[in-house]
Amino acid sequence: MTKELFQPSAAITSKAHITAAQYDALYQRSISDPDGFWGDMADRITWFKKPTKIKNTSFNAPVSIKWYEDGVLNAAYNCIDRHLPARANQTALIWEGDNPNESKHITYAQLKDEVSKLANALKARGVKKGDRVTIYMPMVPEATYAMLACARIGAVHSVVFGGFSPDSLKDRILDCDSNIVITADEGLRGGKKVPLKKNTDEALKSCPDVSTVIVLKRTGGDVAWNAKRDVWWHDIVDTQSTDCPCEEMNAEDPLFILYTSGSTGKPKGVLHTTGGYMVYTSLTHEWVFDYQPGEVYWCTADVGWVTGHSYIVYGPLANGATSLIFEGVPNYPDFSRFWQVVDKHKVNIFYTAPTAIRALLREGDEWVKKTSRSTLRILGSVGEPINHEAWMWYNAVVGEGRCPIVDTWWQTETGGHMITPLPGAVATKPGSATKPFFGVAPEIVDGEGHIMNGPCEGNLCIADAWPGMMRTVFRDHARFEQTYFSTFKGKYFTGDGCRRDDDGYYWITGRVDDVINVSGHRFGTAEIESAINEHDCVAESAVVGFPHDLKGQGIYAYVILNTGREPSEEMKKEIVQVVRKIIGPIATPDVIQWVSGLPKTRSGKIMRRILRKVAAGEIDSLGDTSTLADPAVVDELLKNRQTPT
Ligand code: WT7
């Protein structure tokens, strides 16, 4: 497979931002002269005060990351105001509702008005520069207004995905100490209502410091009301002025916090700052998607994830693009929905996740073929490794062989694309994220941290800083250093395994830590275990990922019940409910296997390798089990193995 090469067509290369002839020299420069390269790239952003210092970073303790440190700018100004002279009447956002009959266009001029009004309303409620604002919204334009309104006044947003439970919302509100929440009465996805206000009420029972909840009327459904705390969006926003000056922000002032799961502990607040993030997301959006002026660009992610932050909101809008936001799901009303939306809005660039591609692939080609898709030019993939079959189908059926696929590897922490093809410059190989983006220095190291050269497989690290990277874990810099820079000293460790082939192409092999990637969503095994253990009858549990046809990885849980408790289907349902309640429906375990013991070493450490093998059905290759405290545990594991359905 590693020899299968797909060259971009002349139609693509002839007008691409970056061509094959430019890539190598530009990449070399970006690595050998980061100050020169990133100094030049800073010009794509409008600064109130242009930075004179470019890079000031260290991956050795004390880890410190500063880019453009004396620059002054505002992210909302870059996403809105600076486009007004040329693009006031151009569509900034196309909103496609869950219901196929609902959509609207928002121009840059309208975006300025809506964002400014909300920004003024936030100020009127006492929100100041540096305050944290929690956003728990459906995929409506107002979610984008909320993010940009915060950016406009220098408040730091923390968007919580609408699929997360009240408990998860509560943890995130408390962790970042936010006293204002922006939400909606209900969300709408696939024809089903999501009780956002009800979830917020539930979460806020444990958040006494939240004094304001701004509620957008989306569905008009019934909601409980706390008159001291709750205000309708329209009541406080509609009367505000459409003028709101942009706060002057230092390049290193925080822009947002976004929570993400790791292999230990609670989700951490990944902190991104302003200058480097804006340069990096706008540059990658333009070059990786080869965005051309006037094109319609659609990223199907939710703004609750980093993909939505960087590639629905900040990157595209900084570039004056037309960015489509979609409220719905790929299979509603039917499996043609994505392609109908592509035709309806004449989408040129389409960016989605392998899990969605696999779900549509298995429904057959007809759903795709009955649409035109003639406007499509570039296809993107993100969130997990894309398997060969899904890549080939995406290329041949969706793109009809004419659209380069950009398989973009990156992370919440990296802020933007890291390893990815550039459509006009890098020939693709199905399943490979191909080559590093400018300024990104990947290193593959062995278990001891020795750098490996040439073709090899090992742990993926990044040797030096790039402008879009996270700066710290909110209020926990020690955890930042510990999580990312202590495993391999002086390097950023991604948590991913990776192979490099003879052509220098990178192939991400998946997480090597205790993180599971379910449909492109990250969960720590410890996080799910602690949720399961909340059930009164559970003594202990261990969770691993297993290969899942649709989701990439599924969740397999081994559960030990307290003495005297009887396993039953009912009990399984209860445990599933607990996880859904504590984390959210997206973390629902696919399989629960009752066990009386877990495979532990004599020092008490769970041998997850064995649990993973059993879950995957690789029962002939369990490896050495002689160091287990009780090798008999394995027989029971095998005997009662559940076949995932
Ligand atoms: C993890 C990051 C970045 C936005 C979406 C997920 C996996 C992501 C790819 C890809 C192989 C990928 C990695 C990474 N991942 N994109 N193109 N090929 N794996 O963000 O929740 O921070 O997860 O997703 O394992 O570490 P995230």
pLDDT of res. 626: 84
Looking at residue 394, the DSSP 8-state letter turns out to be: I
382 Cα: distance to centroid of ligand 1 (angstroms): 6
- Cα-based torsion angle of the residue sequence 353, 356, 358, 364 in order, rounded to the nearest 10 degrees: -140
H, E, C per residue of 303-348: CCCHHHHHHHHHHHHHCCCEEEEECCCCCCCCCCHHHHHHHHHCCC
For ligand 1, atom 1: residue with the closest CA: 411
Give the helix ranges, DSSP H, for 466-519: 477-485
Has 331 been labeled as part of a binding site?
yes
Has 412 been labeled as part of a binding site?
yes
Closest CA to 128 of 150, 95, 100, 110: 150
Q: State how beta strands 192-194 and 187-189 pair.
A: antiparallel
Q: Which atom of ligand 1 is nearest to the CA of 408?
A: 17
462 Cα: distance to centroid of ligand 1 (angstroms): 15
CB under 8 Å to 481, separation ≥6 — which residues?
Answer: 61, 62, 63
Q: How far apart are the two ends of the chain, measured CA to CA in Å?
A: 29
517 Cα: distance to centroid of ligand 1 (angstroms): 8
Give the C-alpha distances (Å, rounded to integers) separating 37 from 67, 126, 467: 13, 41, 11
Percent of the chain with pLDDT over 70: 100
For ligand 1, atom 14: residue with the closest CA: 411
Please report how many Cα atoms fall inside a 13 Å half-sphere around the Cα of residue 84, on the Cβ side.
11
* Ligand 1 and 74: CB distance under 6 A: no
Has 190 been labeled as part of a binding site?
yes
Residues in the chain predicted with pLDDT less than 70, given as ranges, are 1-2
Has 410 been labeled as part of a binding site?
yes
496 Cα: distance to centroid of ligand 1 (angstroms): 9
Q: What is the number of other CB atoms lying within 10 angstroms of the CB of residue 411?
A: 17
pLDDT of res. 1: 58
* Ligand 1 and 261: CB distance under 6 A: no
Has 320 been labeled as part of a binding site?
no
CB under 8 Å to 24, separation ≥6 — which residues?
Answer: none
* Ligand 1 and 420: CB distance under 6 A: no
423 Cα: distance to centroid of ligand 1 (angstroms): 20
* Ligand 1 and 328: CB distance under 6 A: no
* Ligand 1 and 300: CB distance under 6 A: no
450 Cα: distance to centroid of ligand 1 (angstroms): 24
Beta-bridged to residue 379, according to DSSP, are 350, 405
Closest CA to 382 of 411, 407, 357, 360: 407
Mutate which of 355, 379, 411, 419 to test ligand 1's pocket (most atoms within 8 Å of Cβ)? 411
* Ligand 1 and 405: CB distance under 6 A: no
pLDDT digits (tens, 9 = 90+) for 513-522: 999 999 999 9
Mutate which of 384, 420, 515 to test ligand 1's pocket (most atoms within 8 Å of Cβ)? 384
Beta-bridged to residue 66, according to DSSP, are 56
126 Cα: distance to centroid of ligand 1 (angstroms): 37
Q: At what angle do helices 569-582 and 525-532 cross, to 10 degrees?
A: 120
If DSSP codes are grouped into helix, strand and coil, which group holds residue 198? Answer: helix
- Residue 151's H or E segment, with its range, is helix 141-153
Report d(CA 147, CA 371) in Å as an integer.
34
Report d(CA 148, CA 116) in Å as an integer.
9
DSSP string, 395-423: IIIISTT-S-EEEEB--GGG-S--B---T
Has 240 been labeled as part of a binding site?
no
381 Cα: distance to centroid of ligand 1 (angstroms): 10
Cβ atoms of 521 and 515 closer than 8 Å: no
90 Cα: distance to centroid of ligand 1 (angstroms): 32
The greatest distance separating any two alpha carbons of the chain, rounded to the nearest whole angstrom, comes to 74
Q: State how beta strands 349-352 and 296-299 pair.
A: parallel
- Residue 281's H or E segment, with its range, is helix 275-288
Report d(CA 517, CA 510) in Å as an integer.
8
Q: Scanning the structure block, which residue is given the tokens 């209860």?
A: 574
- Residue 260's H or E segment, with its range, is strand 254-260
Give the C-alpha distances (Å, rounded to integers) separating 168 from 188, 377, 450, 582, 624: 20, 39, 38, 6, 38
For ligand 1, atom 10: residue with the closest CA: 409
Residue 402, exposed/middle/buried by CB under 10 A (0-12, 13-18, 19+)? middle
Mutate which of 309, 522, 551, 586 to test ligand 1's pocket (most atoms within 8 Å of Cβ)? 522
Cβ atoms of 402 and 472 closer than 8 Å: no
246 Cα: distance to centroid of ligand 1 (angstroms): 33
Has 511 been labeled as part of a binding site?
yes
Give the C-alpha distances (Å, rounded to integers) separating 608 from 328, 514, 598, 642, 644: 37, 9, 9, 17, 18
List, in sequence order, every beta strand (DSSP E) within 435-573.
442-445, 451-452, 456-462, 472-473, 492-500, 506-511, 515-518, 521-524, 538-548, 552-561
Cβ atoms of 547 and 590 closer than 8 Å: no
Mutate which of 161, 409, 498, 514 to test ligand 1's pocket (most atoms within 8 Å of Cβ)? 409
* Ligand 1 and 513: CB distance under 6 A: no
pLDDT of res. 627: 85
Prediction ipTM score:
0.99
Q: Supply 230's token pair.
A: 């709750």
Please give the CATH architecture assigned to the domain spanning 519-640: 2-Layer Sandwich (3.30)
Cβ atoms of 459 and 497 closer than 8 Å: yes
- Residue 250's H or E segment, with its range, is strand 249-250
Report d(CA 94, CA 105) in Å as an integer.
5
124 Cα: distance to centroid of ligand 1 (angstroms): 39
Angle, CA of 153, 139 and 416, to the nearest 5°? 65
Beta-bridged to residue 156, according to DSSP, are 132
